Amino acid sequence: MKPFLKPRKLLSKFGYPPQPSTRAQAFQRLFGYLTAYPIPFALTMILVVVATALNLVVAYLLGVGINILSTPAPDLTALSQTAIGMVVAAIASWLLFLVEGLVLAGISQKATYQLRRDLFEHMQLLSLNFFDRQPIGELMSRVTSDTELISQFFQTGLNQLFVNLSKLVFTAIAMLLLDWRLAIAALVIVPLMLTFVGFLSRVSGPAFDQLQQQLGELNGVMEETISGEKTVIAYRRQDEAVESFEDISAASRDASIKAQFIALISRPVTLVLTNLDVALVALVGGVMVLQGATDVGVIATFLQYTRQLSLPLTQLSNLFNALLAALAGAERVFQILDEQPAIVDRPRTPPLPPIQGHVEFRAVDFSYVQGRKILKQNTFTALPGQKIGLCGPTGAGKSTIINLITRYYDIDAGDILIDGHSIYDVQQDSLRQQIGIVLQEPFLFSDTVLNNLRYARLDATEADCIEAAKRANAHDFIDRLADGYHTMLTERGSNLSQGQRQLLTIARMMVQDPRLVILDEATSNVDTRTEQKIQEALARLMAGRTSFVIAHRLSTIRDSDCILVIKSGEIIERGTHADLMAQNGFYSDLFMSQFKGKLTSLTQPV
Check if the beta carbon of residue 59 is closer than 8 Å to that of residue 304.
yes
Check if the beta carbon of residue 546 is closer than 8 Å to that of residue 385.
yes
For 235-250, letters b (16+ CB in 10 Å) and e give eeeeeebeeeeeebbe
For residue range 461-502, list pLDDT tens digits in order: 999 999 988 988 888 888 888 888 898 888 777 788 888 888
422: helix, coil or strand? strand
Q: Which amino acid is at 462?
A: E
CA of residue 233 relative to chain centroid, distance: 31
For the cut 70, the answer to whether the pLDDT of residue 202 exceeds it is no
| Confidence grade of residue 359 (pLDDT, cut at 50, 70, 90) | very high
More confident residue, 277 or 84: 84
Closest listed residue to residue 353, CA positions, set 294, 412, 407, 425: 425
Check if the beta carbon of residue 197 is closer than 8 Å to that of residue 317.
yes
User: What strands, in cross-sheet order, belong to the sheet with 562-567?
Assistant: 435-438, 516-520, 546-550, 387-391, 562-567, 570-575
Q: How many CB atoms lie within 10 A of CB 420?
A: 9
Q: Which residues, in sequence order, are CB contacts of 400 under 8 Å at separation 6+?
A: 366, 374, 375, 409, 569
Looking at residue 317, its pLDDT comes to 67
Looking at residue 236, its pLDDT comes to 65
What is the distance between the alpha carbons of residues 95 and 83, in angstroms, rounded to a whole number?
19
Cα 50 to Cα 60, 93, 99, 252, 602, distances in angstroms: 15, 8, 12, 44, 89
What is the distance between the alpha carbons of residues 243 and 239, in angstroms, rounded to a whole number?
6
Looking at residue 139, its pLDDT comes to 77
Please give the backbone phi and psi of residue 508, each rounded to the nearest 5 degrees, phi first.
-60, -40
Average pLDDT over residues 278-288: 74
For residue range 392-445, list pLDDT tens digits in order: 888 888 889 998 999 989 999 999 999 999 999 999 889 988 998 887 777 888
Region(s) of the chain under CATH 1.20.1560.10: 23-337
Alpha carbon dihedral 299, 302, 303, 309, in 10-degree steps, equals -170
Q: How many CB atoms lie within 10 A of CB 201?
A: 16
Check if the beta carbon of residue 46 is closer than 8 Å to that of residue 68.
no
Looking at residue 7, its pLDDT comes to 35
Q: Which residues, in sequence order, are CB contacts of 303 under 8 Å at separation 6+?
A: 278, 281, 282, 285
Check if the beta carbon of residue 297 is closer than 8 Å to that of residue 48.
no
More confident residue, 1 or 48: 48
Looking at residue 498, its pLDDT comes to 82
Q: Which residues, in sequence order, are CB contacts of 399 under 8 Å at separation 6+?
A: 520, 550
What is the distance between the alpha carbons of residues 125 and 137, in angstroms, rounded to a whole number?
19
- End-to-end distance of the chain based on CA atoms, in angstroms? 49
What is the distance between the alpha carbons of residues 536 and 551, in angstroms, rounded to a whole number?
16
For the cut 50, the answer to whether the pLDDT of residue 18 exceeds it is no
Please give the backbone phi and psi of residue 319, each rounded to the nearest 5 degrees, phi first.
-70, -20
For residue range 214-229, list pLDDT tens digits in order: 766 676 676 666 666 6
241: helix, coil or strand? helix
Q: Which helix (H) or strand (E) holds 517?
A: strand 516-520
Concatenating the DSSP letter of every residue in 165-227 gives: HHHHHHHHHHHHHH-HHHHHHHHTHHHHHHHHHHHHHHHHHHHHHHHHHHHHHHHHHHHHHHH
Of the listed ranges 228-242, 301-315, 357-371, 453-467, the least confidently predicted one is: 228-242
Does the domain formed by 23-337 have CATH 1.20.1560.10? yes
Looking at residue 555, its pLDDT comes to 80
Looking at residue 421, its pLDDT comes to 93
CA of residue 23 relative to chain centroid, distance: 19
> Mean pLDDT of all residues in the chain?
79
Looking at residue 272, its pLDDT comes to 74
What is the distance between the alpha carbons of residues 115 and 113, in angstroms, rounded to a whole number?
6
Check if the beta carbon of residue 372 is closer than 8 Å to that of residue 344.
no
Region(s) of the chain under CATH 3.40.50.300: 357-434+553-601
Q: Which residues, in sequence order, are CB contacts of 254 under 8 Å at separation 6+?
A: none
Looking at residue 524, its pLDDT comes to 60
| Confidence grade of residue 246 (pLDDT, cut at 50, 70, 90) | confident
For the cut 50, the answer to whether the pLDDT of residue 12 exceeds it is no
What is the distance between the alpha carbons of residues 539 and 563, in angstroms, rounded to a whole number?
17
For residue range 148-190, list pLDDT tens digits in order: 878 878 877 777 788 888 888 887 787 788 777 877 777 777 7
Average pLDDT over residues 16-31: 65
Average pLDDT over residues 321-331: 79
Q: How many CB atoms lie within 10 A of CB 589?
A: 10
437: helix, coil or strand? strand
Q: Which amino acid is at 179?
A: D
* pTM of the predicted structure, to 2 decimals: 0.69
More confident residue, 281 or 18: 281
Architecture label for domain 357-434+553-601? 3-Layer(aba) Sandwich (3.40)
Local structure of residue 448 (DSSP, 8 states): B
Average pLDDT over residues 345-356: 89
Q: How many CB atoms lie within 10 A of CB 41?
A: 17
